[in-house]
Structure 1
Amino acid sequence: MNQHFVHEKRIEITTLSNGLMVATERMPAIATATLGVWVGTGSRHERAHEHGLSHLIEHMAFKGTARRSARQIAEDIENVGGDINAATSVEYTSYTARVLGENVDVALDVLGDILIHSAFDANELAREKGVILQEYAAVEDTPDDLIYDAFMETAFSRQAVGRPILGTPETIKSFDEATIRAFLAREYTPGKMVLAAAGDVDHARIVDMAERLFGGMPSVAAQAPEPGRYTGGERRISRKLEQANLVLGLPGLSFKDPGYYAVHLFAHMLGGGLTSRLWHEVRETRGLAYSIDSFHWPFSDCGLFGIGAGTSGSDVRELMDVTLACMTQATRDISEIELVRAKAQMKVALLTALETPGGRIERVARQLLSWGRVVASEEIVRKVDALDVEHVREAGRQLLQGAPTLAAIGPIKGLPSLDDIASGLRG
């Protein structure tokens, strides 16, 4: 099976004198080009009064520059059949575009313009704050979204890494042009940026444009965010809802931790598919939930493991008891066939992510920002294939030693105490 992973496309990388990295991957069978700029800055890099600023800046990037109105930004991309987008996460912000290969210069010029020359017009800023406040209200009205924000806030209490990306109404309303520009000067520095492109692209041409568009950015020493410190704890929100939404968590691992892949496999075997233990026992055998899944969110210096499900108020106790039993049992008797299946599913997920130019540039950009190099797929697979059943069981046992985090919303009176949950995890 491993032969599928060794035929990597050729990736060319050039670092500009100010530290910005340019990475391209020519894909001869592709007529389009997907390109983007990844910034190694997200919500965890915000100070308390800046909470939500990364997300606002991402929105404001499309609201006008010194030479383009918001309408012109959209028209310049769509007139050549392209599309443009952006996204904010805990540790990254990305700005991406897709066009025909012949129009790469158009897309790059727009991306450079919105990143370097955004105007932050006061009227546009006021309007976009209103849009984000509506987005915030929508989350507050959606229990299965709100509960994951509460989960992160509880697991990493009073820390930027645990704060919701959107911010709060108070911080969103407080932002002005000066606050935005101070954040950009501190965080949007070339040493924390990667311009990546894949598809019908020419490396030399893109490097030349990158130098013209971004080469004048001053090189500024990057500031590391506050280290993530898992705290655990609980947040229970009683509401009159038809269903209770629950998330149970434990301290996970950084993607730089040697044990990361073992924890990832444990999470997948526990609740990562239709053959997983939680799905079979909770959903198929007992009918306690429409869906249940487990996940492992790794960050650069910490991580978070969790299990999420929704159920009726009358079933919350049984759901929790069954979940705890499945978790502890898995640390004792995960089988070889489960491991083989999880490894195969992990490889398919890896290959699938590499089948589009967009997936390829995201992988390249994130790896360059995290590792300073592109990690070959065969290197990842080699680490996964080296794990045996006992490695994964031990990863699970170590995981269950951590202090739990519980976030719950809805009719949740029947939930056991956090101490009882902790005792259940110890078996």
Structure 2
Amino acid sequence: MVARLSTLANGLRVATDEIPHVQSCAIGMWVGTGSMYEKAEVNGISHVLEHMAFKGTQTRNAQEIAEVIESVGGYLNAYTSREMTAYHARVLKEDAALAADVLADILQNSLFDPIEFAREQEVIIQEIGQTLDTPDDIIFDYFQDMCYPNQPIGRPILGTEELVRSFTPDLVKNHMRQNYSLENIVFAASGNIKHEEMIALAEAKLTQFTSKVAPEEVTPTFEGSVRIFEKDLEQAHIVFGFEGVPYHHPDYYVSSVYSTLLGGGMSSRLFQEIREKRGLVYTIYSFPTSYLNAGQFSVYAATSENQVKDLLPAMYEELRKVPKTLTMEEVNRAKAQLKAGLMMGAESTMARCEQAARQTLIHGHPIPLTEISKLVENVTFENVIQFSESLLTRKSSLVGHGPIQELVGY
């Protein structure tokens, strides 16, 4: 089936990817706002709002919100990213209306009770502390800041303890009113649910959004820099990368193919050379990150203190070798990996629901899987060569965290 999209009279977009042979459905609301659209003084507020949506409404308390979905064997969750916030559930097909009712309830009728708010502030501060104590997590926040210093896109999604403590229920409610407009929401589902049923649920449940305000367009500037965070850890964690490409760039799929052959699996160059042949790491991989108006191409690795001096030169050398030694076999293998990943991901109702929603927010409509597969297949050997060469001429950032004296002054 091909995902269908309708825009209702009130501006809400409804996207449905029907899979008739399954017994469940994933359903959710994706909002086109995240930490990228926050001012410095309210950094982290989108994430706080996401948490508070589950803390009680006019008809359900926090426990009842969890119980009403889990009592039918379902699953309810949410997440905040830099560009969007998602609230989603997975239930059996006969419980789709219940899931829609709960999602509509938490986004339209949340109370923002001061007692619950103060309690949840402490929970979020615990989450921030956990992230700070997890080196292979926090290093990506450090890296983001080095790529985009003093810009919303470079700030942590969770914010800081000081900022989170400064927020009030009214401040968070106002943030919701300013950003959660029907035109900025995609109501999406995938699984055993019909498009007409989703439209009926939207018209029946989503009736209280009145704001017409959408986030202002943000155009980040990749600046790039180097920073070392010394800490007494067992391993040194390193992320380095270059300015990448946004979603709509012609090299979007080229960067994915290149990343896959460079550091996307056990057969990739970085894995084979750095781990298998040299034994310098346990974990190493590359990954492209794209946004509406920005992007990065990055490599992550972790190693012991006495091997730091060998690791970074070895990683850089692999990048320099690609334009001169790339083979067609590598390109074809990378494309096969990407296309197989797309097909296997299509077996998950939640993955397909999220894909339909994200693509609608990014591109204005869901993109058929066959079209994406064709775009991957159309990446040529020459495209990858050109991209690998151009990457080495772009601005770059390097972040190290842990016992990394050997990186100082690199």
TM > 0.5: yes
Give the ranges of 4+ consecutive aligned residues of structure 1 lying more than 3 Å apart after TM superposition.
none
Q: CA deviation at 1:27?
A: 1.4
Of residues 6, 21, 27, the one that matches 1:14 is: 6
Q: CA deviation at 1:219?
A: 5.0
Residue pairs, 1:23-42, within 5 angstroms: 23-42=15-34
- Mapped partners of 2:97, 2:25: distance in 1: 11
- Mapped partners of 1:286, 1:380: distance in 2: 36
| Aligned equivalent of 2:326 | 334
Does residue 264 of structure 2 align to residue 272 of structure 1?
Answer: yes
The C-alpha deviation readout for 1:61-95, integer Å capped at 9, x for no partner, is: 11101111011111211222211111111111111
Moved more, 300-309 or 210-219: 210-219
- Mapped partners of 1:391, 1:416: distance in 2: 35
Checking the alignment, whether the CA contact within 8 Å between 1:19 and 1:219 is kept in structure 2 is: no
Secondary structure class of the residue paired with 1:406? strand
Moved more, 301-310 or 385-394: 385-394
The C-alpha deviation readout for 1:367-386, integer Å capped at 9, x for no partner, is: 11111111122222222222
| Aligned equivalent of 1:153 | 145
Look up the equivalent residue of 2:155 and give its one-letter code: R
Look up the equivalent residue of 2:258 and give its one-letter code: F
Checking the alignment, whether the CA contact within 8 Å between 1:147 and 1:409 is kept in structure 2 is: yes
Does residue 365 of structure 2 align to residue 373 of structure 1?
Answer: yes
- Mapped partners of 2:257, 2:337: distance in 1: 10
Secondary structure class of the residue paired with 1:84? strand
| Aligned equivalent of 1:307 | 299
Does residue 348 of structure 2 align to residue 356 of structure 1?
Answer: yes
Look up the equivalent residue of 1:325 and give its one-letter code: E
Does residue 128 of structure 2 align to residue 136 of structure 1?
Answer: yes
Does residue 179 of structure 2 align to residue 187 of structure 1?
Answer: yes
Look up the equivalent residue of 2:316 and give its one-letter code: L
Secondary structure class of the residue paired with 2:299? strand
Does residue 202 of structure 2 align to residue 222 of structure 1?
Answer: no
Aligned sequence identity (%): 40
Residue pairs, 1:380-399, within 5 angstroms: 380-399=372-391
Residue pairs, 1:288-327, within 5 angstroms: 288-327=280-319
Does residue 88 of structure 2 align to residue 108 of structure 1?
Answer: no
Q: What CA RMSD, in Å, does the superposition of the two structures yield over aligned residues? A: 1.3
| Aligned equivalent of 1:171 | 163
Secondary structure class of the residue paired with 1:414? helix
Q: How many residues align?
A: 410
Of residues 255, 266, 270, the one that matches 2:247 is: 255
The C-alpha deviation readout for 1:37-69, integer Å capped at 9, x for no partner, is: 111111111111211111111111111011110
TM-score, length of structure 2 as denominator length: 0.97
- Mapped partners of 2:195, 2:379: distance in 1: 38
Moved more, 379-388 or 340-349: 379-388
Checking the alignment, whether the CA contact within 8 Å between 1:266 and 1:392 is kept in structure 2 is: yes
Q: CA deviation at 1:250?
A: 0.6
| Aligned equivalent of 1:78 | 70
Structure 1 alignment gaps of length 5 or more = 1-8, 419-427
Secondary structure class of the residue paired with 1:138? helix
- Mapped partners of 2:342, 2:409: distance in 1: 39
Of residues 245, 255, 274, the one that matches 2:237 is: 245
Q: CA deviation at 1:387?
A: 2.0
- Mapped partners of 1:221, 1:74: distance in 2: 30
Does residue 192 of structure 2 align to residue 200 of structure 1?
Answer: yes
Change (3 A) 1:216 1:137: closer
Checking the alignment, whether the CA contact within 8 Å between 1:288 and 1:319 is kept in structure 2 is: yes
Look up the equivalent residue of 2:221 and give its one-letter code: R
- Mapped partners of 2:319, 2:93: distance in 1: 49
| Aligned equivalent of 1:56 | 48
Structure 2 alignment gaps of length 5 or more = none
The C-alpha deviation readout for 1:276-316, integer Å capped at 9, x for no partner, is: 11111110111111121111111111101111111122211
Q: CA deviation at 1:416?
A: 5.9
Change (3 A) 1:389 1:202: closer
The C-alpha deviation readout for 1:368-416, integer Å capped at 9, x for no partner, is: 1111111122222222222221210110111111122011011211126
Look up the equivalent residue of 1:306 and give its one-letter code: S
- Mapped partners of 1:370, 1:152: distance in 2: 21
- Mapped partners of 1:396, 1:376: distance in 2: 28
